[in-house]
Structure 1
Amino acid sequence: MQIYQQILSQIESGTFKVGDKLPAERELCEQFGVSRAPIRQALSALELNGFIYSRQGEGVYVKSNQSLASSTQDPISFNSVSPEEIVEVRMNIEPLIIKFAVQRATDEEIAVLRATIDKMEQETKSGVYVPETDEALHYNIAKASHNELFINIMSAIINAMKKQEMWQFIRDRTVTRPDYLEVNLNEHKQIIEAIEKRDEKKATDIMSKHMQNLYDRYWK
């Protein structure tokens, strides 16, 4: 979070302007005195919130100095999206997204997913659920599909969840409960393990099951 905030403050202050290329991961590691894992997590969070974007093989660039959540240019009115619509889209689109993620994910992208699931495991062991970690995991799966439309759809889904108060109410009554925390973690671990093994069918089946369980838990 400290790395995220420091890079964000440089973007907001104009030190890094829209279109500028950020320093390479290696340089950021030296600058902050950390390994690549927290750097990648911070960059993933910045990308998830619409501040930066990455070009395969080229690097990371500043996209905006305003988050997606505060942008007024989004064509979707997130406040009008219902929890039922969110789940309906997720149940149908995420198994498709992961199919392409298994086919196209680079070793580096899989390493980011592994670092994120390790973070989720640490949080679960501490007895807490952090929505941003869950969101980052699903967003990074979309990134691994190397399909800009899938990435934008996933970003729209995440923003809809952030804006929908009823969604947050339902979430706080389910995945934050101790009896669901471990279940939620295990489902995500199985998803990442299937991607690591390049098992397209298993990854798709587990994601479909995860989405169905999501629906069942939310409307139980």
Structure 2
Amino acid sequence: MSKIKRLPTNHQQSLGAIVYEQILTAIIDGVYELNSKLPAETQLCKEFNVSRPILREALARLREDDLIMSRRGSGSYVIKKPDSNVLKFSPLSSISDIQRCFEFRANLESEAAGLAASRRTSTQLEDIIQAYERINIANASSKLATDEDFSFHYAIIDAANNYFYSTVLKSLEKSVKEGINITRNLSLRHSPSRLELVQKEHFAIVTAIQNGDSTAAREAMKSHLNNARTRMFDGV
């Protein structure tokens, strides 16, 4: 495997993220096979021409994304092989950031959903329901529906009636849509039950907000976004 090129210190992406993506690509390409043991850290450091702290940052991200598992005294093992289509729908350089964005959204949007359940107006509830229905219409025609999905999440954030939540989500729109684009593209390549499952998760959020159940809304949103993050790396 070729060594990575060191980037200027002002480059936005860390070396740890670059190594993460190089190892991810190697897993997808079968260089590191499913259920196989990764080379020792010393060997990986030489392979990628990086220090041990940088390598460990990359390995930590891979563990967080359930791609590898560490066994005490034995090393790290590949436990999931993502669909190769992941690399077709988003630049390799953004995949790690998209995963971290899902992680951030799970916390941000779950709290916003909880607030929306207790603060939403009747007009805001109608906006959420209409956004949900637009996804149903898009699903019926196998449309990608990235914009519809984002609008659904934004309608919920807006219903929290806290300017800071909506401002943050709007500022993340590009990254959020990149994540939605990948997960929905992958879902369209599965059986129709995949999109139905995602829409059931959306429906659980809508129902909780409609019922004014903040706890259920918070839990439904967090579950949905954590599931979306996992679905991005569903194995083959």
TM-score (structure 2 length as normaliser) = 0.54
For the 8 Å contact 1:109–1:144, the answer to whether it is kept is: yes
What letter corresponds to residue 102 of structure 1 in structure 2? A
| Matches of 1:212 and 1:153, distance apart in 2 | 19
Q: 1:183 aligns with which of 197, 205, 223?
A: 197
For the 8 Å contact 2:149–2:180, the answer to whether it is kept is: no
Matched, 1:208 2:204: no
TM-score (structure 1 length as normaliser) = 0.58
Percent identity of equivalent pairs: 21
In structure 1, the partner of 2:186 is: 173
The alpha carbon displacement at 1:191 in A equals: 0.7
Q: Which runs of 5+ in 2 are unaligned?
A: 1-93
Larger Rg: 2
| Matches of 1:121 and 1:80, distance apart in 2 | 27
Matched, 1:155 2:170: yes
| Matches of 2:204 and 2:144, distance apart in 1 | 18
Name the SS for the 1:174 alignment partner. helix
Q: Which runs of 5+ in 1 are unaligned?
A: 1-78
| Matches of 2:125 and 2:189, distance apart in 1 | 26
The alpha carbon displacement at 1:195 in A equals: 0.6
1:219/1:80 CA distance change after superposition, 3 Å: closer
In structure 2, the partner of 1:59 is: none
1:153/1:208 CA distance change after superposition, 3 Å: same
In structure 1, the partner of 2:109 is: 94
The Cα offsets for residues 147-187 of structure 1, whole Å up to 9 and x where unpaired, read as 1110011112222234x5x8744542236643421111111
Give the aligned CA root-mean-square deviation in angstroms: 2.2
1:108/1:185 CA distance change after superposition, 3 Å: same
| Matches of 1:109 and 1:176, distance apart in 2 | 33
- Number of residue pairs aligned between Structure 1 and Structure 2: 140
